[in-house]
């Protein structure tokens, strides 16, 4: 009887410790997720962390985003990040710099596919955040870039936000002078766009 009670007590303690440990959302992105030219606390990833910390059970956010990041450099960094943080959800916000440099879309597709597979193998759910390019890049390239995210999400069964800056990019009052990055006032709207795709993955 005493042995049974000890085992039961240890199980309860272990379960309580596991419940108290927040799960992690890992955000791997570029300047759009790295609070470019605005205070870090105003960026959508920081705002997401504030929201998740108030949930029950709580979640934590690791922002591994770097300005200038491409899909290839993100692919190279992801294995170490997965090993270190063991996230339950991985948010991939990469491809903007590939597109702005006119890099081959097949390479972007290959890199995103590899990252999705890496995250899935680490037992993490994946949310893809799509981006749009300025109209001067031409309809063929822009449509092809858009299709990369939609097709991969369908093939790999990931979450998808078709356009990260939906409702923000075409509003000059919410964008910086470069026309590429939101001002601080636009970041809460970016968070709401991400939240629509992320919330269903938080179980």
Catalytic sites, residue numbers: 31, 178, 181
DSSP E strands in the chain: the ranges are: 23-29, 59-63, 89-93, 125-129, 159-161
What is the per-residue DSSP string for 66-123? -TT--HHHHHHHHHHHHHHH--SEEEEE--HHHHHTT--HHHHHHHHHHHHHHHHHTT
Residue 51 in contact with residue 191, Cβ under 8 Å?
yes
Contacts by 48-55 with C-beta closer than 8 Å and gap 24+? 48/191, 48/194, 48/195, 48/198, 51/191, 51/195, 52/25, 52/202, 55/202
């Amino acid at each position: 009887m005493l042995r049974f009670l000890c085992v039961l007590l240890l199980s309860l303690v272990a379960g309580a410790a596991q419940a108290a440990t927040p799960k992690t959302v890992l955000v791997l992105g570029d300047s759009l997720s790295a609070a470019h030219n605005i205070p870090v606390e105003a960026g959508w990833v920081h705002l997401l962390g504030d929201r998740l910390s108030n949930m029950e059970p709580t979640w934590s956010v690791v922002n591994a985003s770097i300005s200038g990041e491409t899909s290839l450099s993100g692919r190279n960094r992801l294995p170490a990040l997965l090993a270190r943080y063991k996230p339950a959800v991985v948010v991939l916000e990469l491809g903007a710099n590939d597109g702005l440099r006119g890099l081959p879309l097949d390479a972007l597709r290959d890199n995103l596919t590899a990252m999705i597979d890496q995250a899935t193998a680490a037992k993490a759910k994946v949310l893809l955040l799509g981006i749009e390019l300025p109209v001067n890049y031409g309809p063929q390239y822009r449509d092809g870039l858009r299709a990369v995210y939609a097709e991969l999400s369908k093939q790999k069964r990931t979450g998808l936000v078709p356009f990260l800056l939906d409702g923000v990019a075409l509003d000059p009052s919410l964008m910086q002078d470069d026309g590429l990055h939101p001002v601080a006032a636009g970041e809460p709207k970016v968070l709401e766009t991400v939240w629509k795709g992320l919330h269903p993955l938080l179980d």
